Amino acid sequence: MKKLLFILLFAFSAIGIYGCSQKEYFSNVEEKKQFTEIISASGEMIGIIDNNKEIERFVKQLDIGSWNDMEQLPEDIDLVYSYISYEVIDEPIFLQDGKQLVNMSTLELYISSKGEYIIRDYNQEVETIARISEKAGQFLNALEDLELNKDITAKDILDGWGLDFYVPNSDIEKTDDIENARYYQGETSFTEKELRKTSKEQKIQFYGADKNTLLNEIHDISEIAQYLNGLALDQWEYTDNAPNPEEIECQIVRFMLSRDNKKELKEMYTEILYKSNGNYYIEEIIPGEYSERGEFITHYQVSEEIAKYILSYIENASN
């Protein structure tokens, strides 16, 4: 699974569109192109939530912070509803070749034989199965409490957007997607102009095996764009079972302006480059303050060429 978009995108969301439940760093929820389609267990379209304020209320009621993760769905459950969400990826930092894309995710609500509420929340890259609170389950099961638009379909909205779907791999299964949807896979690229739209001030700090010694720092936006483009993000391979570090090579910390305080640079993520069994890996850590589910950690395997490229920013600074 290639890293075509920063995993940061998914940290702002429980998995997909549910990003409006997080502390907004990038998008204005009132302007965001997004909607959620509700489907019954029999496949009937119940209605669409297309009001952003209603989507925000919907997500808050999910009480994501109290979810109790499960390894798999139990057998004694019945599907009640599916909530299929669509969100336009329009932040410059996440665009592939400058193109806006549609991210699709699904939340399925189940009720067990014991009356427990269980959800399966997934998109094409990640999946969460969790037992949720009775309050959240009752809310999801009570559609009469939602402001639904029953005069439009998902296809109508998607046709109006006229955008491609984001897909992590070109050979991904398309059976669950909207009929005749167009798919796009490109390389992630960054320009100084695009980065400034996201945050006028940024910096990237490079440390050794720990954060006690700062070895290099870049804060010029054009230099940051050059560094990010050189990372070849489309070649990063996501891994669920990354080995423990044998040798930590360096740590990289990226900062951007806080939305709450436009004068304050805040840590957006830390990447730890390490070596194990002769291979290079990156552990990416997003602080818990950006996700209601706490600290978000993802692992990738990268090539020796990419590892050497990252290390060159330390070696060149010391020369």
- CA–CA gap between residue 61 and residue 72 (Å, rounded): 23
Instruction: Name the residue ranges covered by the structural domains of the chain.
Output: 8-184, 192-318
Q: Where are the alpha helices (DSSP H) in 67-216?
A: 134-141, 154-161, 192-198
For residue 18, name the pLDDT band (cuts at 50, 70, 90): very low
Q: Which DSSP category does 26 fall into?
A: S
192 sits in which H/E element:
helix 192-198
- CA–CA gap between residue 204 and residue 219 (Å, rounded): 6
Residues 171-198: tens digit of each pLDDT? 333 334 434 333 333 445 677 877 777 7
- CA–CA gap between residue 178 and residue 180 (Å, rounded): 6
- pLDDT at res. 12: 37
For the cut 70, the answer to whether the pLDDT of residue 47 exceeds it is yes
Residues 142-172: tens digit of each pLDDT? 888 889 999 999 999 998 998 887 765 433 3
Residues 240-268: tens digit of each pLDDT? 888 999 999 999 999 988 766 667 888 88
- pLDDT at res. 157: 92
- Determine the 3-state secondary structure of 256 from DSSP: strand
Q: Which DSSP category does 4 fall into?
A: -
Most confidently predicted of 134-138, 141-145, 314-318: 134-138
- pLDDT at res. 148: 92
For the cut 80, the answer to whether the pLDDT of residue 275 exceeds it is yes
- CA–CA gap between residue 64 and residue 144 (Å, rounded): 21
- Average confidence (pLDDT) over 109-132: 88
- Average confidence (pLDDT) over 4-18: 37
- pLDDT at res. 60: 86
Taking alpha carbons only, the member of 284, 279, 272, 277 closest to residue 310 is 272
Prediction pTM value:
0.55
- Determine the 3-state secondary structure of 130 from DSSP: strand
Cross-strand pairs, 206 = 216, 252
